[in-house]
Amino acid sequence: DLYNYSIIPFLWKTQAFLSELSVLFAFEQGKILENFGICTQVSFVRYMQGRKTLGAHPKLFIKDLWFDKVPVRIYQPKAPSASQRRGVLFFHGGGWVFGSLGKISTRNISTHEELCRFIARESESVVVSVGYHLAPEHKYPAAYEDCLSASQHFLQHLQHYGVDPARVAVCGDSAGGNLAAAVSQTLAGRSDLPRLRAQILIYPGLQALDFNLPSYQQNRGVPLLFRERAVYYSLQYVQGDTSNLEEVLEGSHIPPDIKLKYQKWVSPDNIPEEFKVRGYQPHKPSEFKPAVFEKVKRLREPTLCPLLAEDTIIQQLPESFILTCEYDVLRDDGLLYKKRLEDNGVPVTWYHLEDGFHGIINSFNSGWLSFPAGKRGLDSIVNFLRSL
């Protein structure tokens, strides 16, 4: 059913779609190698992602460090500054399974290297990219705990990097947006650390209760993130395998009482009608399977699903920026969180890419494969940072 969506002919006519296909091919090639017992699918995709190289940057100091036993890469503008700079803690995407800092010594660079360099240079900020542990080798809450530890360390030592304690933001894309939201919620009540100035969530995944929201139905076959793969990543993170993928897709993993409890926050009724015009059919609840719930019950924890945090936490959150894409299964997660934040009095800047798809921000500087919407989205992020 990949061809049933109006975006597909459009994407095929764009050169940027070729870059998305390369990721999909790596994913499928990895599966073949895994079937032959040569290597795992995950390790092959990680290898392919790590082949890109970049040299030194003329306008940035780039250095690898350790923050409380967590590897980080710090990007600092070389130009002198008359005042302290903004600080940005960046958590990369990749479904909690892929992505890394790479190694400067071998010029084997991270999946988000160009993005971090651009943000640091254009917003004149000190950017700290966190190399958290990946699933399935390191299951939840390993990634969250690494990001939290690195964030706490940075906030405790801002003076060493010339960062203004009143202008620190957390930022992340996709799974990194999930981690940024979770870290922001955890730090919201901390009086012993500088308060975060903002959170920047780029097409974040924020819940794992309902994979049948309008955006999941409309975009289930749209690259770069298929509906099934969104569940694949969530299960790799929470349990280290995908044995219950079909049950989670159909919603059999959540007890009726928990569904009812969170329906006020996770419901298609909270999605504006204009986002249902491309097609939506209410999903018939599947039979609850207690054995599945026992394996995946941590999916309801707010540090894994920030959309489920209580109002008392949401009310304490800093000013927020949320970027969503029309052709993205995670679109509605962003819309639902936007509503929760606004309902609790948190200022929200929302930027929606009507011609965007998941992962598009990383295409902003891919030469002839660049996608203009990716650059527009990234510019909106930089403009928001500059306003802080």
Helix (H), strand (E) counts: the chain:
14, 10
Token pair recorded at residue 127:
């950017």
Q: In this structure, how many other beta carbons lie within 10 angstroms of the beta carbon of residue 95?
A: 22
Token pair recorded at residue 368:
């002839």
DSSP state of 375: H
Q: Which long-range contacts (CB under 8 A, 24 or more apart) does 64-70 make?
A: 64/101, 64/103, 64/104, 67/128, 67/130, 67/149, 67/150, 67/153, 67/154, 68/149, 68/150, 68/152, 68/153, 69/149, 70/130, 70/131, 70/132, 70/146, 70/147, 70/149, 70/150, 70/153
| Catalytic residue list | 174, 328, 358
Compute the distance between CA of residue 307 and CA of residue 355 in angstroms, rounded to an integer: 25
Question: To which residue do tokens 């890394």 refer?
Answer: 100
Compute the distance between CA of residue 128 and CA of residue 109 in angstroms, rounded to an integer: 15
Q: In 3D, which of 7, 12, 50 has the Cα closest to residue 279?
A: 7
Question: To which residue do tokens 């779609």 refer?
Answer: 17
Instruction: Provide the 3-class DSSP secondary structure of residue 74.
Output: strand
Question: What residue spans of 89-135 are helical by DSSP H?
Answer: 113-123
